[in-house]
Amino acid sequence: MGKKSSGKVMNRREFIGDLASAGAATLLASSMGSASAAQKSIQKPPSKKMPLYIFSKHLQWLDYDGMAKAAAELGFDGVALTVRRGGHVLPERVETDLPKAVAAVRKAGIDVGMLITDVYDVSDPVTEKILRTASGLGIRYYRLGYMHYDQDKDILEQLEATRPKMKALADMNQNYKIFGGNHNHTGNCIGTSLWDAWDLFKGLNPEWIGFQYDTGNGFNEGIGGSWKTNARLVASRIKMLAVKTGDKWGQPEWQNDTINKRENRPILTRKDFDWFFGMLKKTGVEGPVAVHYEFPGLGGAETGAKELKGMSKEEVLAIIRRNLNILKEMIAKTG
């Protein structure tokens, strides 16, 4: 610590000055409650390439401490935390609850690598609360919410109406030094085909807005081979990934998922994974990966259940651990 006033008890200003001189000024937040507890353990972004974070949707049957402990013991680098309707952190409680969740995760020796949100419109008051709170906690990535097409309106007109919203969001991201990634979700969403979102993001700084590319959705929306073209198109704007792990036979993607109505869809093979991660290596993509477990047979964890049914905690975590090891092996193979 720095010098204290001779013969005096340090006042608040002197105390803060001493903290700053020690390189820890960020430990003091404007509010001195749970937020400061999380800030005391702010970590730098992982130095390793492609850190793996479990999608916290699959651990919503655990509280913050339980989630953090499980993720650490399983071997993840951290958590991709749900901050959305029905998530681990409810958007309207982000300012009080996100610091608590982050503090629990960092106490376990890992980190919150990204947020999974409903955010896409800066006119929603909760948007800035989420980004401001996340930024203050040292979180540098979040996934955008889904923007759905109106089937009764012209596609191009809807995209043009969305363009200024994305510009405003990119500007807010820049202000809070946080990257927002559009998730290419299957269905009637902007970005499912990737081309439409790519066009929306043209001219916007890729440092602040781009893609969280989902391997499973990308493959299944372009099964004839166009998924590779689409992936190459957006590669320069990919800063985050979503990878779905496999079923009990160790396949790298879901198949015959009657719970989520994904029957008989083809799976992404290990050969496809090799191509994809090899392409990312060439283009320099090194961002965080959210690992998904969306195949049936996980006691409800696959759908974000708040309580397990028909399976024990140990059984669910054993499957998660095994498939994480498969994914690590596949990523390591491509260097």
Note the pLDDT tens digit of each residue in 231-252.
Answer: 999 999 999 999 987 665 455 4
What is the predicted pLDDT for the residue at 262? Answer: 47
pLDDT at 111 over 80: yes
**Which among 191, 82, 98 is positioned nearest to 142, based on CA atoms?**
82
Closest-CA residue to 212 (of 190, 245, 179)? 179
> pTM of the entire structure?
0.83
Query: What does the pLDDT read at residue 294?
Result: 85
Name the average pLDDT for the chain: 84
212-232, pLDDT tens digit by residue?
Answer: 999 888 888 887 788 999 999
Q: Which of 138-147, 156-165, 279-288, 306-315 has the lowest mean pLDDT?
A: 279-288
Lowest mean pLDDT among 39-43, 47-51, 285-289: 39-43
Quick one: pLDDT band at residue 265, thresholds 50, 70, 90? low
DSSP secondary structure of 197-251: HHHHHTTS-TTTEEEEEEHHHHHHHSTTTHHHHHHHHHGGGEEEEEEE---TT--
Domains within the chain, CATH numbers bracketed: 1-30 (no CATH), 33-333 (3.20.20.150)
pLDDT digits (tens, 9 = 90+) for 275-318: 988 998 888 888 899 999 988 889 999 999 999 999 999 999 99
